[in-house]
Chains A and B, each alone.
Chain A
Amino acid sequence: MKTGKANVLLWVITYLLPLAPAAWLIFAILNDHATANPVQYLERRSGDYALALLLITLACTPLRHLTGRSYFTAMRRSFGLFTFFYALAHFLSFIGLDYGWKFTSIQQAFAGKIFLWLGLIALTILLLLAITSFGFSRRKIGKLWQWIHTLTYLVGLIILAHFFLSIKGNAGTLTGTYFYPIFTFVLLLLLLILRLPAFLSLVEQLRGKINKLLRK
């Protein structure tokens, strides 16, 4: 049974907690905690937060399956929208802050840089997902909605390629700090496996046990 307090807590987790990283970024920049190169700091951190939130978003449905708690649906939509919010901040800090909205500079920056184009593709798909995340569009497009929103996994893969190629080192020989993108890739695969039909029956079995544990 949900008490009023639990509802408030859920609301805070769903709608306020994802704003904490943004609050930190603003605080860090205003108080000189954003390194000697705050523009780069903002670029990197907003990207990190977008990726982390994407994974958290993808964890919501498996968690709902495992626990049967319906509030994970609301969380999924909110976290998904915040993923787009941080991705957009990431993009805007790049073209606006870093390249000062100068078209020729931005064009130069994108020239031949596959990882930047991948980021742009991921952002475009996230925009599509954000627009269609509201109830009315879900009702309007029905089955298509389901299909469109499975693209979230594709976004995850594209973002990981974007991340992977942006690292200073050698992606071919894994010379450099490839731990984080690889770790994130494993998490993404795990989350994908949790959605496979074969796995869902196992989840059904687990669900009873988990609910028993939660009630204790």
Chain B
Amino acid sequence: MKLTDTEKVTPEALFLSRRKFLKLAGILGVSAALAACGIQPQTETSTATGVPITGVLENTPFPGDTLTPYELVTNYNNFYEFSLNKEDVAQKAANFKTSPWQFTVSGLVNNPISLDVSELIKKYVIEERVYRMRCVEGWSMVIPWLGFPLQKLLAEAGVRSDAKYVKFTTPYDHDQFPNDGAYGFAWPYTEGLRLDEAQHDLTLLAIGLYGKALPPQDGAPIRLVVPWKYGFKSVKSINGIELVSEQPQTFWSSASPTEYGFFANVNPAVPHPRWAQDTERRIGELERRPTELFNGYSEVAFLYEGMDLVKNF
């Protein structure tokens, strides 16, 4: 992350989001100091899963980035399993059951993992990460996630040397996901990363946002967040991670391989057939802003050195 002055993250925006969701301003302002003293600021206990969520801010947001209000983050969701209308997802996902939720790590690993997600998240220090989320449709948000780096889980599972890619799976469950099987898509939703992408410290398994457990519409109980890639790579409601040797098939590139590539790195120079990608609209703002290569996360550029980003879109 770019290390910048945390004071510049506009506190007004934080207060705009409902008071009860966090004393986030405080956390953003003082967590670095507290963490240095070995103190973890306590945030609210999640009501959704009963998991006490503690957050330590582990990154610094971009200067000038304003948090997208909670109401907007939780009421404008691309989650095709529930609805193809972003504004309808929250309501349709309201009764989504995330407990019990078996989570497995399998494939080319030395120590396969299989346990309930509530047990899994107890094993890791939950960090707060303020990330940009850039959707391929040309809109973006800034979201304070809670989670832990995927690399910690991968390290525990013991990735074998023949593993080259990480595949993420979600349940196929028509009772829970009403659209499973519909519209000709390759359900269930699957995604994938190259192993080095998955092991990058920015790559997060998120379990919460704004100090609370993830609401269903944002990918409860656990989801991927890869902030330098278009949002569809950040698969929601994951139930399995599989280490594989071949590049896995993914939901959107199965639907339309010419439109959605495997890498899907945010890149203003590579237009999508329907959306020019040089600008974006921050949700809550009227004017478009320029889109940055890798969504501004220039520290991941080394992963793609020597690669043709137009060809490997």
Interface residues of B in 42-56 (CB under 8 A from A): none
Interface residues of A in 106-148 (CB under 8 A from B): 108-109, 111-113, 115
Q: Smallest CB–CB gap between B257 and chain A, Å? A: 9
Inside 8 A of B283's CB, which chain A residues have their CB? 36-37
Inside 8 A of A115's CB, which chain B residues have their CB? 274
Inside 8 A of B200's CB, which chain A residues have their CB? none
Inside 8 A of A173's CB, which chain B residues have their CB? 184, 255
**Interface flags, A160-179, vs B, CB<8A=1, else 0:** 00000110111001111100
Whether a CB of chain B sits under 8 angstroms from the CB of A9 is: no
Greatest chain B CB density within 10 A among A100, A165, A169 is at: A169
**Interface flags, B252-268, vs A, CB<8A=1, else 0:** 00011001000000000
Inside 8 A of B185's CB, which chain A residues have their CB? 169, 175-176
**Interface flags, B225-259, vs A, CB<8A=1, else 0:** 00000000000000000000000000000011001
Greatest chain A CB density within 10 A among B274, B283, B286, B287 is at: B274
**Interface flags, B114-145, vs A, CB<8A=1, else 0:** 00000000000000000000000101000000
**Do B183 and A36 have beta carbons less than 8 Å apart?**
no
**Do A174 and B273 have beta carbons less than 8 Å apart?**
no
Q: Can you name the residue of chain B whose Cβ is closest to the Cβ of A97?
A: B286
Whether a CB of chain A sits under 8 angstroms from the CB of B92 is: no
Inside 8 A of A99's CB, which chain B residues have their CB? 279, 288
- Expressed in whole angstroms, the Cα–Cα distance for A112 and B287 within the complex equals 23
Report if A169-B256 is in contact (Cβ < 8 Å); known contacts: A37-B139, A40-B139, A177-B84: yes
Q: Smallest CB–CB gap between B54 and chain A, Å? A: 29
Q: Smallest CB–CB gap between A75 and chain B, Å? A: 31
Whether a CB of chain A sits under 8 angstroms from the CB of B72 is: yes
- Expressed in whole angstroms, the Cα–Cα distance for A36 and B284 within the complex equals 7
Q: Smallest CB–CB gap between A46 and chain B, Å? A: 17
Q: How large is the interface on B (under 10, 10 to 19, 20 to 34, 35 or more residues)?
A: 20 to 34
B276's partner among A36, A40, A111 (CB-CB below 8 A) is A111
Q: Smallest CB–CB gap between A13 and chain B, Å? A: 29
Q: Can you name the residue of chain A whose Cβ is closest to the Cβ of B284?
A: A36
Whether a CB of chain A sits under 8 angstroms from the CB of B278 is: yes
**Do B274 and A166 have beta carbons less than 8 Å apart?**
yes
Whether a CB of chain A sits under 8 angstroms from the CB of B164 is: no
**Do A108 and B76 have beta carbons less than 8 Å apart?**
no
**Do A176 and B255 have beta carbons less than 8 Å apart?**
yes
Q: Smallest CB–CB gap between B57 and chain A, Å? A: 25
**Do A176 and B184 have beta carbons less than 8 Å apart?**
yes
Report if A175-B278 is in contact (Cβ < 8 Å); known contacts: A35-B76, A105-B288, A112-B271: no
Whether a CB of chain B sits under 8 angstroms from the CB of A39 is: yes
**Do B255 and A39 have beta carbons less than 8 Å apart?**
no
- Expressed in whole angstroms, the Cα–Cα distance for A169 and B182 within the complex equals 12
Residue tally, chain A, CB below 8 Å to B = 26
A169's partner among B86, B137, B255, B271 (CB-CB below 8 A) is B255
Inside 8 A of B71's CB, which chain A residues have their CB? 36
Whether a CB of chain A sits under 8 angstroms from the CB of B196 is: no
Q: Can you name the residue of chain A whose Cβ is closest to the Cβ of B135?
A: A37
- Expressed in whole angstroms, the Cα–Cα distance for A35 and B283 within the complex equals 10
**Do A111 and B184 have beta carbons less than 8 Å apart?**
no
Inside 8 A of B284's CB, which chain A residues have their CB? 36
Q: Smallest CB–CB gap between B140 and chain A, Å? A: 11
Whether a CB of chain B sits under 8 angstroms from the CB of A48 is: no
Whether a CB of chain A sits under 8 angstroms from the CB of B281 is: yes
**Do A175 and B255 have beta carbons less than 8 Å apart?**
yes
Report if A98-B84 is in contact (Cβ < 8 Å); known contacts: A169-B183, A175-B184, A175-B185: no
**Do B76 and A36 have beta carbons less than 8 Å apart?**
yes
- Expressed in whole angstroms, the Cα–Cα distance for A117 and B180 within the complex equals 34
Q: Smallest CB–CB gap between A170 and chain B, Å? A: 4
Q: Smallest CB–CB gap between A177 and chain B, Å? A: 5
Inside 8 A of A168's CB, which chain B residues have their CB? 137, 274
Report if A175-B256 is in contact (Cβ < 8 Å); known contacts: A35-B87, A36-B72, A169-B183: yes
- Expressed in whole angstroms, the Cα–Cα distance for A165 and B274 within the complex equals 8
Q: Smallest CB–CB gap between A54 and chain B, Å? A: 22
Given A36-B87, A105-B278, 14 more pairs with CB closer than 8 A: A35-B86, A36-B71, A36-B76, A37-B139, A105-B279, A108-B276, A112-B271, A115-B274, A168-B274, A169-B255, A174-B184, A175-B184, A175-B185, A175-B256
Provide a sorted-by-A list of 18 A–B residue pairs whose CB atoms are within 8 angstroms: A35-B75, A36-B72, A36-B75, A36-B284, A99-B288, A105-B278, A108-B276, A108-B278, A112-B271, A168-B274, A169-B183, A169-B255, A169-B256, A170-B259, A174-B184, A175-B185, A175-B255, A176-B183
Residues of B at the A interface (CB closer than 8 Å) are: 71-72, 75-76, 84, 86-87, 137, 139, 183-185, 255-256, 259, 271, 273-274, 276, 278-279, 281, 283-284, 286-288
